[in-house]
Each structure stands twice: as C-alpha cells, then as structure tokens.
Chains A and B, each alone.
Chain A
Amino acid sequence: AQSVTQPDIHITVSEGASLELRCNYSYGATPYLFWYVQSPGQGLQLLLKYFSGDTLVQGIKGFEAEFKRSQSSFNLRKPSVHWSDAAEYFCAVGAPFSNDYKLSFGAGTTVTVRA
C-alpha cells in the first residue's frame, strides 16, 4: 500500500522569498506523484504531477517539484512566493497500472505568507 508523509504542518514565508515543501512517499516501486493546492473554502487544484521521465517537473503558478528516487521524495518549490500562494498544499501518490486510480494524500502543509 502506498502512503505519503508531509513533515511540515505549517510554514510561514515572507513574500518574495523562496518556498520548499517536503513530501516523502512509501511505495514498492516508482509511484505516480502529485501536488495539489487548496485555497480556503475551495476544492483541490492540481499544481503538477510526475509519472516518469525528467525528474524535475514544472507546474502551474510558477511551482516546480523534483522527484528523487534515492530519497523517496517529491519536494515542491517556488523561487519567489506571492501573497496569493497562501493556501494548504497536499502531496499525493497513486499506483501505476492501477485499475482503481485511488490517490493517497499526505496530511497537508499550510503556507502563510507575510508581507
């Protein structure tokens, strides 16, 4: 069974500073990996995903993530944070070649952006 750990519950970052959110997964092989963002009172929006190939993945809103097999990690980064990036971020994992397409989510990291 797959699982995801997001070690940081809450991160505060200054506007314009860089941001890195950590994600570690547990799976017997290389899983499919996702990052979602949830603004207050909203549903989840996909930021980016990794299936295979280039381990540095570009997403929407200026985010990128890097898959590191040796560390079982898929950390999310943004070089310069905007106030609108304040939200909750979820890492998720799915099993390749699955016939049920279930996603397992981490507990989430809340990002606060200070002026």
Chain B
Amino acid sequence: GAVVSQHPSWVICKSGTSVKIECRSLDFQATTMFWYRQFPKQSLMLMATSNEGSKATYEQGVEKDKFLINHASLTLSTLTVTSAHPEDSSFYICSAEEFFGPGTRLTVL
C-alpha cells in the first residue's frame, strides 16, 4: 500500500522552543493531509486538515498560532509546534488518504 513517512520519530526539546514535524507521502500525491494528536491510551483527535496551496482548517479548540501547518507541496505537510510547553508533549501523527505516518513522540521538558 501507499507509504507515508514522518520525521522525526521522536524529539525532546526545552520549554519555549519550536519544533517542526514533517509528513511526506512517498509514492502518491496528497492535496490533503491530516494531523492528529494522541495521548497515552486514548484515541486519536484530529487537530487540523492541511490543504496544499491554501490555509489549513483547524478543529475547534486547536490554536492555529500554536500549531502552524504548511502544506508546501503535493507530498509534504509540516506541523510546527511553536513555543512548546510540557502540556504539548504528546504523540503527533499525520495521515494522507487512509494511510498514516509512523508518528512523532514529542517530549517538552
């Protein structure tokens, strides 16, 4: 099946720094990608829909200035967690069509 990659797989950063996570569709073009967040032993919660060439659509309660999304090409979407704080520590996972990336585990100290 189609492959979606995500980088980095894990990151540890200090509070106040920004972290960028990349999501790539490797063998297909994706005009739309999705970003989810998952806390331990919980379900996936959709954060935003990333649209190539236009602004992302954020779900209710998700701060768009906090979680910046850029969909620069048909194969790449990026999520930047700005001024990260410990409460942003979570598992972030992207998807394109029905396929998911391997996820990024973010730990903010």
Q: Do A and B bind each other?
A: no
